[in-house]
A and B are shown apart, each in its own frame.
Chain A
Amino acid sequence: MANELIEFVLVSVALLGIGIYGLSVKRNAIRMLFAIEIIINAANLNLVAFARFMPDSGGQTLALFSIAIAAAEVAVGLALIIVAYRMYQNVDIADFRSLKG
């Protein structure tokens, strides 16, 4: 293994930071979903990196589960965005405030 563990972890930290920036600044619901995807991928990268340096197959198995669950999450999230878009004709989450009831 030519690379060190810390390099992968630092890339993961950078991706997590970018994701947090996107979640806190963007108001476009689709962009926020992008940010969530980036954060999930940072987590997956950590899982696989630590699994490689253990070495243990459990981390890769967990990463596969995580990817599959993320796919389900995206499907439901996009459906929710479509429903909200149909109701408000907009994807700005500031317009979704009335969903609070």
Chain B
Amino acid sequence: MTGVQLMADAAFLALAVVTIGAAIAALELRSLIYGSIALMGSLGGIAGFFLLLDSPFVALFQLAVYVGSIAVLILFTVMLVKRELIFKKIEDKRRKWAGIGLMLIFMVAIGSVIIDSGLKSVTTDEPPVDFRDIGADFVTYYWPALILMALILAGSVTGALVLARREDVENGKRTD
């Protein structure tokens, strides 16, 4: 085993522990604020995986969009919620063990199918894709999709603003 292999394995293991641990913490921590910070950690771990996969552009995009904007959006929403709701765990006690069982059965079933499949021996020695190819993809083959995506983003942001607008406030005063 070479030094590079060992380093990559150590980095992979650390990232896997951080990503999966933070994902569990995001769902299980009592406080929603700490939960959303743990979610940030999990999403950052995914960005680390992208770096390991030689996709720095996607990794930086992930950091900018998820860790940067979505996490802040979630934090602000959590802060709008009443204090006692932030610290209250709302879940079905009976369903909890059923959910854990479902998760384990799912992981074992899908995991064993994947381990048995031919994916186990897939490795590659080819050089990674140059990120300039992604830019070329965007402006040549995928340009209608890019424009459509821009419209969808604009529409969703407008829709979110319209949804979240208070209808009981007129001229800066509450009517109720």
Which residues of A are in contact with B by a Cβ distance under 8 Å?
1-11, 13-22, 24-28, 30-31, 33-35, 37-38, 41, 44-45, 48-49, 51-53, 55-58, 60-61, 63-65, 67-76, 78-83, 85-86, 89-92
Across the interface, A18 reaches (CB within 8 A) one of B27, B53, B65, B128, namely B27
Q: Which residues of chain B come closer than 8 Å to A7, judged between CB atoms?
A: 12, 16
Closest CB in chain B relative to A31 CB, distance in Å: 6
Starting from the known contacts A9-B119, A37-B66, 15 additional A-B residue pairs (CB-CB under 8 Å) come to: A2-B8, A3-B8, A7-B12, A17-B106, A34-B36, A41-B46, A45-B50, A48-B58, A53-B124, A71-B69, A74-B74, A76-B159, A79-B159, A85-B80, A85-B81
Across the interface, A2 reaches (CB within 8 A) one of B9, B26, B90, B164, namely: B9
Are A52 and B53 in contact, CB atoms less than 8 angstroms apart? Answer: yes
Contacts of A24 in B (CB 8 A): 95, 98-99, 102
Assess whether A79 is in contact with B81, with CB atoms less than 8 Å apart. Answer: no
In the assembled complex, the Cα of A34 lies from the Cα of B29 at a distance in Å of: 12
Q: Chain B binding site: helix, strand, loop or mixed by DSSP?
A: helix
Establish whether residues B164 and A83, one from each chain, have CB atoms under 8 Å apart when the complex forms.
yes
Digit string of B80-111 for contact with A (CB within 8 Å is 1, else 0)?
A: 11100100011110011011101110110011
Other-chain residue from A11, A72, A75 in contact with B19 (beta carbon distance below 8 A): A11
